[in-house]
Structure 1
């Protein structure tokens, strides 16, 4: 039970860190010339759904084997939703003047996310045997943003804020990749079983890198929003 409560505390702290820049952003909105904020709120909503699913999973997965399989699948679904929602704000703002590209990229990631969620809900794929596969599809879905990112940089090469945002997104990808590596390799508990059951095991380290990646993405999105706010109309 102590371990479960600790996990819930971790999710609460993660939620506060993601929510803080959103509160600051909404307080600074000038309604006279504000750009649409709903893409940012989509990301925020996806992050909250992810943390809620993870909290519920950590709390109830130990109830029984049946609950274990169901709630860990729910946890993976929450991660998938967060990844998909993370695409909306940067793509929407970067391609505000290119509606066809915007629709193409947002439709593609949404469809990919739906397919991934359907795959994750399959009971057979939730077993430990497919642990590496689950990590792979998360990374594949996340790194599918390379194409729209490259397109955005090509379109706005002369804008330094776009390059700054790209740097944050690269940092996000690195954080997620490192976290996934800890998750798959089960480091450090594989080296000393039982020593990290309460604190310091790979799942906790994974969550640290997830929140770091989410914060990097938040920074990237805020930079793009500021750039779009100051850019001339299409």
Structure 2
């Protein structure tokens, strides 16, 4: 069937505008002003984006299945499950947004920015989903009900909103300085993760003795934390393609590896959260602060609404400053 369809041609780096360039990637670029149909068809041919798309699109369905199982089999009257629902929803949203962004980002320069605005918003929401689940299930016993614990979710909401704004700014306002934009984007993703992980890092590396919550989930937390650090390294360094430009254009470049290890990390993160949720349920329900609509679903809705408003502002600004882009 596909043999009867004319697939879009692929180009080299010299044939596409600078905004589409990727460090160390020489060939395999899609036509920069493709139609939506061409973008969809391109996922069935080998380009430098093909595996970026599939490595996040396929796992979306796994996390969606996990979410549906929780929703169908769970009791909505049991608020103890709400943080898990928020985390699973964010785990569905970020890979889906990413795969869509990579699919349709070659419709125009303006479309590329807009696609990744939504990608960044989804990543920021995922960081909040992680924080909500950590607050409810993963805090070390010594920190439960502390001042840090009480203000952890409000701070995480603010961090996610700032992260979305900073990441969008890195594309919109610094388009002429790619290195500065990449630096701002790295900071935008790194600092919410570091803040969200403080209770885990304390639990794993600082806390000792009673109240440090060592259980079966602890080893899995070590694993997904290590994977998160490795994905950050790949995102920041553009290795291995930076060492051998052109050798990893289609398979094995850093963004593909970033996607693969990020998804694996999310899977182990989910496993650790579910273990803590199950193993600590009785103790947490007795000693921890109550799980409410405000600090779970309400916080998630506030974050999503705020991030969408920020994205809308940057899209409006983009249309204002790129009126001469006739390819959108």
TM-score by length of 2: 0.61
Listed as ranges, the gaps of 5+ residues in structure 2 are 1-41, 288-328
CA contact (8 A) 1:142 1:173 kept: no
Who is 1:216 aligned against?
A: 268
| RMSD across aligned positions (CA) | 3.1
- Structure 1: 5+ residue runs without aligned partners? none
* Mapped pair 1:128 → 2:175: no
In 2: Cα distance, 1:168 partner to 1:69 partner = 36
Paired residues of 2:70 and 2:85 also in contact (CA < 8 A): no
In 2: Cα distance, 1:125 partner to 1:209 partner: 29
* Residues 62-71 or 186-195, more deviating: 186-195
Give the superposition deviation at 1:210: 0.6
Offset at residue 106 of structure 1 (A)? 0.7
In structure 2, how many angstroms separate the alpha carbons of the residues matched to 1:191 and 1:134? 22
CA 1:103–1:157 in structure 2 vs 1: closer, same or farther (change >3 Å)?
closer
Distance 1:147 1:186, change over 3 A: closer
Are the equivalent residues in 1 in contact too, given 2:101–2:116 (CA < 8 A)?
A: yes
1 or 2, which has the higher helix percentage? 1
Aligned to 2:114: 70
Cα distance in structure 1, aligned partners of 2:185 and 2:121: 11
- The more displaced of 69-78 and 198-207 is 69-78
What is the rounded CA distance, in whole Å, between the counterparts of 1:94 and 1:181 in structure 2? 25
1:32-71 matches, within 5 Å, as 36-71=80-115
Residue of structure 1 equivalent to 2:191: 140
Counterpart residue number, 2:58 = 13
Report how far residue 195 of structure 1 moved: 2.7
Relative to structure 1, the CA distance from residue 98 to residue 155 in structure 2 (aligned partners, 3 Å threshold; closer, same or farther) is farther
Bigger relative contact order (CA 8 A; separation at least 6): 2
The 8 Å contact of residues 119 and 125 in structure 1, kept in 2 or not, is answered as no
How many residue pairs end up in the alignment? Answer: 231
Matching residue of 2:153:
106
Alpha-carbon distance change, 18 to 99 in structure 1, aligned in 2, over 3 angstroms: farther
User: 1:222, CA displacement in angstroms?
Assistant: 0.5
1:85 aligns with 2:129: yes
The aligned residue for residue 231 of structure 2 is 179
CA distance in structure 1 between the aligned counterparts of 2:212 and 2:110, rounded to whole angstroms = 54
Find the structure with the greater CA-based Rg: 2
Counterparts of 1:19-38 in structure 2, within 5 Å, are 19=64, 21-22=66-67, 29=74, 36-38=80-82
CA distance in 2, matches of 1:18, 1:75: 17
Deviation at 1:201, TM superposition (A): 1.1
SS of 1:160's equivalent?
A: coil
